[in-house]
Amino acid sequence: MPLGAIQESTHREYVQEVPKALSVPAFAKPSASAAAAAICPGSRIGHSVTAACSGDYLSSQPSAIENSDSGAKVTQLPAIEKWKTSAPLSVFGLLVYAAINMTVGLLFSNQLWAVVCTTVVIPLVFAVYAIAVYPSLMRAKPILKSPKAISFCNFFAGGPIFGSIWNYKLTQNKERNYQSPRRGISHIVHASCSLVVALMGIALIFLAMMLPVMPSGLKVGDTVSYGTYKGEPLEWQVLEFDGDKALLVTKNIIAIKVHYAGTWRASKIRGWLEGDFKQSFNYVENVHILNTFRSATNTTDSVFLLSMDEAEKYFSSDEARCAKAMNISDDEIAETARWCVEKKIKVGGKELSYSEWVDALEREYQSGRNTTWGLCSFHNDGLCSFCVSNDGSLYTPESEQPKRYTNGVHAPFGIRPAMWVTR
């Protein structure tokens, strides 16, 4: 008998046995194809029982737990498997995002470090997250796995718009039972915008460094405007040139301050110069202010007070060292008077009341009047700092044993900031 006839006969006999095996009444006897389906539910009509029961057909079908795009199984997508939006961490990430951008961008936008941070560093960090971290969440080996960490980072790096999109995409993929993780193009858009901002920031910095900030032809002793303080242009005196650098000191005494400490490193004046005072300069001017290591104080500063040696070196006479107070505000005088009363600062061995201090400071720092200004050099005991007297001298007039003028570290004096700038 031919082989095909044998297979057909076997198939017919097998099907005929099905009703008996299943106790199906004769009047409901199934067809051969239906019987085959009853024996092997995975078979399709038209397939032989042998083929349907062999497992070859079942093995050829896609698994319900496989990723139809990448073939990744559920257990191979840990970030999606564990994903659940953390509302508190999402809000916290958004707040940190807003705080950094607003604080650095608005309050310190005229300082070089802030400009570099907001236009270069932060955009590059965001771009790296959008290019590398977020797409990895759809892969078998994500960079982040914790839902809380992902919730925070999505809003921190993506802000309110992209953070919401990325959280939604993860939730959507989980609801689809991981069948087809889709990233969309939001991360590409975000990364592209961040990279453009970073490139613009780099270009802006280079452009600012190329722009001149001081007129050409300046000589030592000349006066130049640089920055704005209390709404007025700051006037600076040129003390020295060193290649393409110039050492400047303000022409006038612009503030009243107290060291509060016995070293320049710990002085409150140093913090004020590097912080609030640097708001006097715009972005381009800040780019040209140089950080300089100062051997006199063993510190690196961009704005500072002159040392005792510099006060002797750069001024040819006491008269040249004289400086006038200019635009000292009533608030500064009131604040300084309160400090002097609190610290029980004495004048001629006598403690003064608040009103007496106000009167004394108003007379001493009257606009246009020569007065004492401070230096960054301290006496060895750390209790006093050196200063320049109102007549420009550095030493007491005692002929036998002249002494340098000093001021208690808690006592006020006038401020003449100094700095090195590129021309």
Beta bridge partners of 301: 292
- Alpha-carbon distance of 208 to 284, in angstroms, equals 5
- pLDDT of the residue at 178: 57
Residues 6+ apart with CB under 8 A from 394: 308, 311, 312, 318, 321, 386, 388, 404, 405
Residue 34 confidence class, pLDDT cut points 50, 70, 90: very low
The H or E element that residue 364 is part of is helix 354-364
- Alpha-carbon distance of 181 to 170, in angstroms, equals 8
Find which of 52-61, 181-190, 212-221, 239-248 is predicted with most confidence, using mean pLDDT. 239-248
Beta bridge partners of 66: 73
Based on DSSP, count helices (H) and strands (E) in the chain, helices before strands: 17, 14
- pLDDT of the residue at 257: 93
DSSP three-state, residue 308: helix
Identify the CA nearest to 413 among candidates 260, 238, 223: 260
* Residue 129 · residue 193 · CB < 8 Å: no
**Per-residue pLDDT reduced to its tens digit, 360-391:** 999 999 989 999 999 999 987 778 889 999 99
Residues 6+ apart with CB under 8 A from 334: 358
- Alpha-carbon distance of 245 to 375, in angstroms, equals 22
Following CA atoms 118, 120, 125, 130 in sequence, which dihedral angle do they give, to the nearest 10 degrees? 100
**Per-residue pLDDT reduced to its tens digit, 207-260:** 766 666 777 788 999 999 999 998 889 999 999 999 889 999 999 999 999 998
Please check the confidence at residue 48 and state whether its pLDDT lies above 50: no
Beta bridge partners of 253: 325
Question: Which residue type sits at 128?
Answer: V
Following CA atoms 98, 99, 103, 105 in sequence, which dihedral angle do they give, to the nearest 10 degrees? -30
Higher pLDDT, 409 or 294: 294
